[in-house]
Chain A
Amino acid sequence: MPNLPTRRAILAGIPLALVATTVSAGLFSQDIPENLDLALRRPTDAHHYTVAIGPVEPEVRIGRMHAWTLALADRRGRPIDTARIAIDGRMPQHGHGLPSAPAVTQALGDGQFLIEGMKFNMHGWWEIDLAIDGPAGADTVSFNLVL
């Protein structure tokens, strides 16, 4: 089994993950919308939960399988340890999905879940879509990521 990330590693990973999402304005990234919301912590669409996601290792390398963690809380910020979570993703501008099928493989406690099998195979704008079925019911949330 993979080494479990420590809480410190998870927290340390978040600011660096944000660095990786800085929008660039070069030849190649010219078509990425300028006002994308790149927050990796946000309420779900029906406001049942708050979700924060981030890679376990700070550097997200294109084409490499890696793990992420997900922090799930109720609308008052209390951690939730039991929920069914499905992960999907796509490149909105390219008409294709993730090159892998990631899944939540472990509940780490304290509202933290391990997501294994994340992979991005190109630079650009990715959308990560989560479907969460927990104590407050089913809800969805999407995150933007620019690599």
Chain B
Amino acid sequence: MRRILFALPFAAIGAGALAIHLPDPAAPTWSEEDLSLVRSLSLDALPPVPADPSNRVADDPRAAALGRSIFFDTRFSSNGKVACATCHLPDRQFQDDRALSKGVSETSRRAMPIAGMAHSPFLFWDGRKDSFWSQALGPLESAVEHGGDRTQYAHVIGAHYAEAYVEVFGPLPDLDVLPARAGPVADPAAATAWEGMARSDREAVNLVFANVGKAIAAFERTIAPPETRFDLWVASREFPGPGLLTTEEIAGLRVFLGAGGCVNCHGGPLLSDGHFHNTGVPAVPGLPEDRGRETGALLVREDPFNCLGPYSDAQPADCAELRFMVPAGADMLRAFKTPSLRGAASRPPYMHAGQIPDLERVIAHYVAAPEAPAGQSELRPLTLDHTQRHELAAFLGALDPLP
């Protein structure tokens, strides 16, 4: 009898457990493949930042410290007012909330966030750069972003960062013989001065310029995507049931994977395939024609600062992404890089030139699948009712960084 009494509470617990595991007819079912797909989107599935053989100081903390200082230093601009951080604000996911970013003047694209981009083989909306360090060089010489030039930046390094630079990269060239302003840039005076320099001087300056990029890259590689409620939910005991994600958000995840087909391109832990797609995003009236990846594929191949170029520390075998990249063909016309959806819900406006002001209209765009202004859109119209659209938007909100 005594034994039976002891056993009773256990029987009760057993019955409780049984009740918990009874299938709820309203609860969605998940196949093992579905669950594994959901886990593959979680931050836990993100591998360590891959090595960058083209940047020998990529993981040198001294280079990262130097790069961090340069990132916030407005002396690296023509007007002394623009730094990398001007458009890549650390407290705003390293972007600027503007449709078109504003450096020394207005650009024709939206600033991209930085977190996790060390995993991306090609940088910029059109992928015209194939490394973080080479990417950092582009805005520095752009007439509308930093607006400066190579000898100007070499002089800033010599005047303000000589010690840190020499420690990481070795001796600086003799800067006294160099023009104050010279580089292959839009400014005619600087361009003429650059042409007038000895080839060996130009190469010495190019090396300093590349090293500025490599230091910035070493810093940017440390910027990891922050954890989100979605990541915590996947790791939680309730997964895949409601808990840290609401029933509505989970329904939205199922739209994301199923009827919406979002995961086709927004897959993996960064929710981006890192590739280029024409999704029929409208052109912006008044801006120059933007051919997207078609132009980017040509530019990256010709770039002296690419993986195969003289300023890269890589062996050709390390440059598979560049050597075997899809050439600039018709299917790359107006194809733009898939952005990460981590944090996207709280950083409107959307698309490469901020064409779409809010998530609701982004979803409407994918449902309607309009014809592309040039090239062929890969989208096909979707059948998503009002509830599904709402659920999808709710799920995207769960991909925001935790407060």
Chain A interfacial positions (CB closer than 8 Å to B): 1-2, 24-30, 62-63, 65, 94-103, 116-117, 119, 121-124
Contact = CB atoms under 8 A, between A and B. Distances in A.
12 contacts: A27-B31, A27-B34, A27-B254, A28-B258, A96-B331, A96-B378, A99-B275, A117-B324, A122-B264, A122-B267, A123-B37, A124-B264
B44 interface: no
A13 B31 CA distance: 27
B33 A24 contact: yes
A31 to B, nearest CB: 9
Nearest to A118: B324
Interface residues of B, number: 31
Contact of B31 (A26, A62, A95, A98): A26
A122 B273 contact: yes
A60 B371 CA distance: 34
Interface of B: 30-34, 37, 40, 121, 254, 257-258, 263-265, 267-268, 273-275, 277, 317, 320-321, 323-327, 331, 376, 378
A65 B326 contact: no
A43 B119 CA distance: 38
B274 A121 contact: yes
Contacts of B268: 62-63
B31 A30 contact: no
B261 to A, nearest CB: 8
B301 to A, nearest CB: 12
Contacts of A1: 317
B354 to A, nearest CB: 25
Contact of B265 (A24, A117, A122): A122
A65 to B, nearest CB: 4
Contacts of B273: 62-63, 99, 121-122
